[in-house]
Structure 1
Amino acid sequence: MITQNTIQQILQRIDIVDVVGTFVKLKKRGNGYLGLCPFHNEKTPSFTVSASKEIYKCFGCGKSGNGINFIMEHEKYSYVEALRWLAQRYGVDVEETEQSPEQRQRAQLSDSLFIINGFAREYFTKTLFNTEEGQNIGLSYFEERGFTKETVEKFQLGYCLNTRDAFAKTAISKGYNLEYLQKLGLVTMRYEQPADNYRGRVIFPIHNQSGKILGFGARILGKADKAPKYINSPENEIYYKSRVLYGTYFARHSIDKLDECLLVEGYTDVISLHQAGVENVVASSGTSLTQDQLRLIRKYTNNLTILYDGDAAGVKAALRGLDMAVEEGLNVKVVLIPDKEDPDSYVQKIGADAFRKFIADNKQDFVLFKLQASLLDAGNDLNKKSKLVSEIAETISKINKTEGFTRQQDYIRQSAEILKIDEEGMTQLVNKFIREKMTKLEKELTKGKNPEYDVPEEDLPPIPEEYLDDTSNISLFNPHEKQEQELVKILLRFGSKVFSEEDKSNVADYIFHLPYDFESLSDNEMVKRILHEYKQEYDKGNLLDARWFLYHSDPEIAKAATAIIEDKEAELSTNWKEKFEINTKYGDNAYVTDTVSTTNYLILRKIKKLMIENQEEMKNATEYADQLRCLEMAKHLKEIEMELTKTVNTVILK
């Protein structure tokens, strides 16, 4: 783990305008900056960045957050990956907490494998462009496929010489570990001598989400009776095929913006579509979809459109593994490319615009596509049709998200109509599958053996996924908690500012020296947590600011702080003084007045509660002494209420 010292150094140097400006063209507007939102398509800028508040906010799509959050959201990095990115940008040396020997060994091995893959990628690219064989065979193949030089360079394609050990000799001469070269599948042993595994093949590097090389796909050129068409890297400590989709690194921003992921089968399909300008596309590399791959897609979008060849094999392929996609909450569509075509050939044949239109016009809902295709296959076979009814009911039962209830009912109605069966019977069958799943899940949870939820600790991400949630769509505070939110905002923004010129006390001094515990006065758990942490540090002599909470390691606190800070203050117009000769304070200049009125409001609210409780106690009091005590308490509370009201000229709300 990265040490707190390193994190604090990063936070001291981070500049949100600089961070966001790396990816978005920003223009100065008033006290902030304005640009086109990188998270959705827009022609009129609605994306703002505040240097003083250190937050960004899009008024179009609602995305908001801080500098670290921006990197996580834009680059789809984990919290730790975002910190490393920022550390590199601002020249901060990353210190790690002490690791166990096993952890250190694993980390060193992963680093070594990434370094070797990086070297291999560079070697294969140079071989492609700088050798006669590479140009005549490898580059010619890519040109025949219609790939431009810019596309070849973008995807870092390469070529391995058709010699026994040219790469192996070069790698070993540079000191790379032979065991690691074998582990990565780059080198194999033949007759007890190292030999190139990819000789005579064009190379497709496979990138992770941050652009590092996980492995390679190597395609043979020409005919070879025994040799496979493709050789892929073996699974190892950094490459797990089931967790990777080819092209994710190049497609992630486009998927995010268009809110749709196109899925194809092969490397060349991805590259051709990208070159044509259809960039929201990734490939499963010919394998059935896995849960990890589907969850990777869901990081970017809930809309998955699968492009398959229109032949019989393509239709069958379209049905494999997609129940799992429905269960993951993805909105799945299927598009069948015309027979004897694939996405690569078809986009080159008709062009990008026509290809996009073809997709838009030919999307079929997966569940209904599966139903129609299977019904056609079943024909008049009653056994097949009966089995199909159960299969469709089971598929529909997997739509188990709350927000999918309406969609589930629509599927039941449409499926019953197509199958010519009773809708009520279909509903009962779907509910039967749901009950069976819940029973199974219950048993697994009881036994503590639920594979879906029992995740080894080392496999958990450094920061929960909730950190990436859009704060604008979450109601962190109820309307009656507005003043509690305001109190936190005052502390975060103005806690260290002078409150009284007489004794030079600051805003935090005033708040924490009032004879009331605002943490206990609050009804909101997040307010309590922030106030508690602020007070703890205050008691130690530390004055915190907004940065402490905006970049908090607890994503819930960071999210709440962002939502509080971004809340737009109602500011009085400066024209009031000119028109009405009234001296007004507004915005940041009103923090002293705001501090007094906010704290008094919260205290008044507590007084009102105590008054109500006291009245109830008086009603139930039977002893004279208890009645007298309640009367005295009522008088005391009323005096406090009047004093507070007089101080800030407040009207007490009934």
Structure 2
Amino acid sequence: MRIPDEKIDEIRNAADIVDVISREVSLKKRGKNFVGLCPFHSEDTPSFTVSREKQIYHCFGCGAGGDLFRFMMEFKKISFVEAVQEIADFVGIPIEPESGYSEKYKAQEELYDIMSAAVRYFTEILHKSKEAEEARNYLIKRNIKPSTQKLFNIGFAPYGWDNFLTFAKQNGIDLQKARLLGLIDTKQNGDYYDKLRGRVIFPIHSTNGRIIAYGARILDDSEKTAKYINSPETPIYSKREVLYGLFHSKEEIRKLDRAILVEGYMDLISLFQEGVQNVVASSGTSLTEEQVTLLSRFTRNIYVLFDADAAGQNAALRSIEILLKHDFDIKVVSLPEGEDPDSFIKKHGREKFQEQLQKAQNFFEFTASKYASEGRFDDPSTSAAALREIIKSLALVKDELKLNFYIKSIARKFNLREKLIEKELDEFRKSSSGRNETRKVAAASYARPQVAAAQKANPYERELARLLLSGKEEIVDYILEKVGSESFRHPNLKKIAEIVAECHKQNNVSTANILDHITEEGLREFLRLWLMKDEQISTISDKWDNFYISGKLEKDTLEHAVQTVRNYFIYKIEEEIKSNNELIQTNNDEMLHLELLKRNKELYEQKKELLNN
């Protein structure tokens, strides 16, 4: 069922997020907000905050957050439509389904239905068909219990060229769409045939439990064919955006506030079966930005546990950089030579596995150990290069306190002065930022100085973005008219401004509606955390309600917006003047000097006009 957008807005506007959440969580008023113990992870001190003003919630412990619909979905493990229906019942608004689905939605739903039907077919074959005897024996040999097989919907595609094809025809499945999903393929003459034959099927679930793809493994490793066939990219599946097993493991990950990252399906299934249930798998691919962003919704503490061979250890090394970028606390687990997570836990059990976790190294210790085993510290020249690689990773650590501890650890291990490591770190950051090179290029090419100046972050952007999220039409109107979303330089603030502009066209600039229009989870989290931090400030200090640079203006008024826009443009002008003066001092071209002086005169006039208005 599709619920019209207008009806969703009506339900959202009629419900109060505090009333909805307080039915499930005990909340206490604290300043403007309400706080309580988070229902999504274990805690003793309340970090779960609900804003009545913005109609959103955020947990400062585990990072969970969203609007009232998101809360119901996560708390009750229900779909978006079910969450809307439940809240509609609570506020007494009847829902009549829209007469027709959108074409895109209908097409996606059909793909979901085909994939679900296929998995039901494969699982039934595994459990009931004589043809699957070999597959059942394979799973017994791999110590995968029948209950675990059912939990993960494991199935079997029988040998033969038309078994699933016949099933699809008998059940009215669109064959072109089945081909799109990688379930069947076509011969040169255009006839269809089964793509999956004699393979164990591992279905892949979305985070909310829908079957979206598969991995299909051969039974006999000696066969001269691909060990795995994986689903192609489809409208319902992007390999970069999915972590295998997250649907089954997300609650345990939240509860323990840590995840174990493994490579393959069997690694995850074996660990899960033995009671290690805070585990996800990258499905044999290199970890991606999208996967890490997804995992960060549930925890920022991770144990990387790849195979003990060289390929597995190199994959662990590659994962470190992307995890550090997303501010994860990283531990790397090294298993004994020749072992993988699947084989280790079957041989040694859960208790020994937990001991391996306790021996895990932080990213610096792991990287240093790996380089030492490769002999990279045996020679002064290779030692310096290896140490610089470690410092390159260190530059990604955002937490200054952690960074300080890492610097001390490196200094102790290599008997170096901390100042030397700090110097190398600063040099790397400078070279990666490219500031010096940009300035040289700008001066040499006589680039328009305002272009260079515009790249520097304007401190008033943040306040302008916050005002765009005030929910007040007149303020949003004014800022979009005077500044425009295209003027923002900070990447996240620019995206937010663009989304507000879209919502403005639809005449709904409420914070909850803006959050709904953000599809990128990392940006949603950035916005929630930012807004709720502002709310925390407001509950701590009454002075915040009247704070502004002048000390005279209340926030979230049109007058405040006008003053912020004025200050935004004054700052831009001052930065351009400053940049022009620097170029005049460093460049000997007289024609350029005249052009810049003329431009500065125009800028001073513009600034004077702004100050007088």
**Bin for the TM-score computed over the shorter chain:** 0.5 to 0.7
Aligned to 1:432: 427
Q: Is the 8 A contact 2:153 2:203 kept in 1?
A: yes
Report the counterpart of residue 525 of structure 1 in structure 2: 555
Structure 1: state its 5+ residue gaps. 28-34, 486-520, 533-654
Query: Which residue of structure 1 lines up, in the alignment, with residue 469 of structure 2?
Result: none
1:178 and 2:208 are equivalent in the alignment: no
> How far has the Cα of 1:18 moved from its partner?
8.9
Secondary structure of residue in 1 paired with 2:270: helix
The question of whether the paired residues in 2 share the 8 Å contact of 1:398 and 1:434 is answered with no
The 3-state SS of whatever aligns with 2:536 is coil
Which residue of 1 is the match for residue 384 of structure 2?
A: 386
Matched, 1:293 2:309: no
Deviations 1:55-97 (A, max 9, x none): 99999989898743523554899xxx6455433786845559x
d(CA) in 2 for partners of 1:158 and 1:149? 11
Q: Aligned runs of 1:359-398 on 2, under 5 Å?
A: 359=357, 361-377=358-374, 378-398=376-396
Shift in alpha-carbon separation, 1:147–1:210, aligned structure 2, 3 A:
same
Give the letter aligned to residue 465 of structure 1.
Answer: E
Q: Is the contact between residue 254 and residue 280 of structure 1 (CA under 8 Å) also seen in structure 2?
A: yes
Output the amino acid matched with 1:431.
Answer: D
- Please identify the structure whose Cα radius of gyration is greater: 1
| Correspondence 1:465-544 to 2 at 5 A | 465-466=525-526, 469=529, 475-477=536-538, 481=542, 525=555
Q: Distance in 1 between matches of 2:86 and 2:172?
A: 26
Distance (Å, rounded) in 2 between the aligned partners of 1:182 and 1:374: 46
Letter matched to residue 41 of structure 1: S
- The aligned counterpart of 1:346 is 344
Kindly indicate whether residue 71 of structure 2 is the aligned counterpart of residue 70 of structure 1.
Answer: yes
1:165 to 146, 162, 165: 162
Q: Which moved more, 1:444-453 or 1:390-399?
A: 444-453
Distance change (3 Å), C-alpha of 1:411 and 1:13: closer
The answer (yes or no) to whether the contact 2:217–2:229 under 8 Å persists in 1 is: yes
- Separation in 2, partners of 1:227, 1:451: 49
Q: Name which structure has the greater RCO, CA cutoff 8 Å, separation 6+.
A: 2
- Contact conserved, 1:65 with 1:471, CA < 8 A, in 2? no
Q: TM-score, normalised by structure 2?
A: 0.66
Alpha-carbon contact 1:245-1:293 (below 8 Å) kept: yes
Question: 1:4 — aligned with what?
Answer: 6
The alpha-carbon distance between structure 1 residues 356 and 11, as it changes in their structure 2 partners (threshold 3 A), is farther
Look up the equivalent residue of 1:365 and give its one-letter code.
N
Distance 1:162 1:286 in 2: 25
CA distance in 2, matches of 1:59, 1:391: 33
Indicate conservation of the 8 Å contact 1:254/1:279, yes or no. Answer: yes
- For the aligned residues, what is the CA RMSD? 4.6
Whether the 8 Å contact between 2:205 and 2:212 is mirrored in structure 1 is yes
Deviation, 1:446, is: 4.3
Confirm or deny that 1:407 pairs with 2:408: no
**2:142 is matched with which residue?**
145
1:39 alignment partner in structure 2: 40
Q: Report what 2:414 is aligned to.
A: 419
Following TM superposition, by how much is the alpha carbon of 1:309 offset from its aligned partner in structure 2, in angstroms? 2.6
Q: Cα 1:55–1:387, aligned 2, differ >3 Å: closer, same or farther? A: closer
Determine the structure 1 residue equivalent to 2:223: 225
Give the TM-score of the pair, scaled to structure 1.
0.62
Q: 1:431 to 1:95 in 2, by over 3 A?
A: farther
Q: SS state of the match for residue 410, structure 2? A: helix
Q: 1:207: how far off?
A: 0.7
- 1:173-322 equivalence runs, <5 A: 173-192=170-189, 193-322=191-320
Q: Following the alignment from structure 1 to structure 2, what is the Cα–Cα distance between the partners of residues 460 and 56?
A: 17
In 2, Cα distance between the equivalents of 1:125 and 1:20?
41
Displacement after TM superposition at 1:452 (Å) = 7.5
Per the TM alignment, residue 39 of structure 1 is displaced from its structure 2 partner at its CA by 2.2
How far has the Cα of 1:227 moved from its partner?
1.2
CA deviation vs aligned residue, 1:108-142 (integer Å, no higher than 9, x gap): 432322221122111111221222222x1223322
Cα offset, 1:190, TM superposition: 2.5
Structure 2: which 5+ runs fail to align?
27-35, 439-451, 457-485, 500-516, 562-613
Alignment match of 1:121 (pick from 119, 122, 146) = 119
Deviations 1:393-446 (A, max 9, x none): 2111112x3xx1121122222223323334322211111121233337996994
Between the aligned residues of both structures, percent identity stands at 32
Moved over 6 A (4+): 13-21, 42-49, 54-66, 440-445, 447-459, 482-485
